[in-house]
Amino acid sequence: MDPWIENWTARINDAAGSAGQLAIRGGGSKTFYGGREQGERLDVGAYRGIVAYEPTELVVSARAGTPLVELTATLAEKGQWLAFEPPHFAPTATVGGMLASGLSGPRRQAVGAVRDFVLGVKLLNGLGEVLSFGGQVMKNVAGYDVSRLLAGSLGTLGVLLEVSLKVLPLPVAERSLRFAIDEATALQKLNQWGGRPLPISASAWHDGILTLRLSGAVAAVAAAERLLAGELMDAAEAEAYWRSLREQTHAFFAGDAPLWRLSLPSVAPPQGFGATLIEWGGAQRWLRAGDARALRSAAAKAGGHATLFRGDDALKAAVGVFQPLPAPLAQIHRNLKHAFDPQGVFNPGRMYPDF
């Protein structure tokens, strides 16, 4: 058996036997996300390397500690990529952290999220068992879809060992356009365009400017560019702009004020609460101000939810990071946690305070 896994299994068994807790850490790039880290650190970043990559199968498998930058570079050599544009937030970001956080970048509106691209995982659960779910093929309905369940589970169900992901060819052409319009008009336009077969791969509205990115075949991008008639952005500037949204290095994200993420139906009207940055065709809205209760009730009323994406520990402890769950769902969550990690060893409190 792999010495790393042997070592972790022993630590899991020790912790399970002594009411201990483990804080799983890949590259530490997303430690800020979710509830405060508690317990003894379990560093898993050393378990790394691409295990299998076959471009014609559109699948890559990598150990969970593999740096995201390394994976991206390997795929780029073959003209492929992770189409959901996962954020790194630091050069140390790992594949396991990407899956555990479940975060996706600007292209999510067009192609889907991490959970839509994960095909299989290998997991070390709270019983110290190594389990494989899913696999390397595109379609697989044998057994419950645990691989997708693990996307966004914040390490609360086990240590990710290996991840298989669907990859796609890089878009041939890309163009970004800008429009000077207000928030309500931008939302209206985005929803209107969303109902038409246009190759829109990302969108962002902030401070009176709507930016759209078109991606795909040369002819399709050119046709849409003519039709939409926005102001064409310089390619390098556009690339930097979308990266700044993905990595949250854009000025909107600067400073210590709490960062709220509202996940809403794209058609939800402007929510108020001050400065807003809208992505995903209207479905993801970032805010820097607002009372937690008011934000959560507005989000719920609109059919979505609000996350305290960045904030200090005191605020997180006071209001919770994630929107509270209705009782029956909360019960299922506790039951699932128990199914994978009966002694409550992994990442306590990262998702909800009660597990």
The alpha-carbon radius of gyration of the chain (Å, integer) is 21
Nearer to another protein, 169 or 272 (CB): 169
Task: Say whether residue 196 binds another protein (CB under 8 A).
Answer: yes
From the list 11, 74, 92, 116, which residue makes contact with another protein (rule: CB under 8 A)? Answer: 116
- Rounded Cα–Cα distance for residues 291 and 289 (Å): 7
In angstroms, give the least distance from the CB of 285 to another protein. Answer: 10
- Percent helix, strand, coil in the chain, to 5, is 35, 25, 40
Tokens 């039709």 label which residue? Answer: 227
Nearer to another protein, 79 or 274 (CB): 79
- Rounded Cα–Cα distance for residues 270 and 285 (Å): 9
Task: Say whether residue 49 binds another protein (CB under 8 A).
Answer: no
Contacts of 165 (CB under 8 A, 6+ apart): 59, 60, 61, 62, 82, 95, 117, 118, 119
78: which 2 tokens? 């073959």
Tokens 């609360």 label which residue? Answer: 156
Task: Say whether residue 354 binds another protein (CB under 8 A).
Answer: no
Task: Say whether residue 108 binds another protein (CB under 8 A).
Answer: yes
Task: Say whether residue 14 binds another protein (CB under 8 A).
Answer: no
From the list 76, 184, 275, 332, which residue makes contact with another protein (rule: CB under 8 A)? Answer: 332
Interface with another protein in residues 252-271 (CB under 8 A)? 263-267
Interface with another protein in residues 283-302 (CB under 8 A)? 283-284, 302
Interface with another protein in residues 64-83 (CB under 8 A)? 79
Task: Say whether residue 54 binds another protein (CB under 8 A).
Answer: yes
Task: Say whether residue 325 binds another protein (CB under 8 A).
Answer: yes
Asked if 177 contacts 225 with a C-beta cutoff of 8 angstroms, the reply is yes
Task: Say whether residue 273 binds another protein (CB under 8 A).
Answer: no
Taken in order 277, 231, 186, 238, is the CA torsion positive or negative? negative
> For the window 153-192, what string marks contact with another protein as x by the rule CB under 8 A?
x--------x-----xxx-x------------------xx
Interface with another protein in residues 213-242 (CB under 8 A)? 216-220, 222-224
Asked if 102 contacts 185 with a C-beta cutoff of 8 angstroms, the reply is no
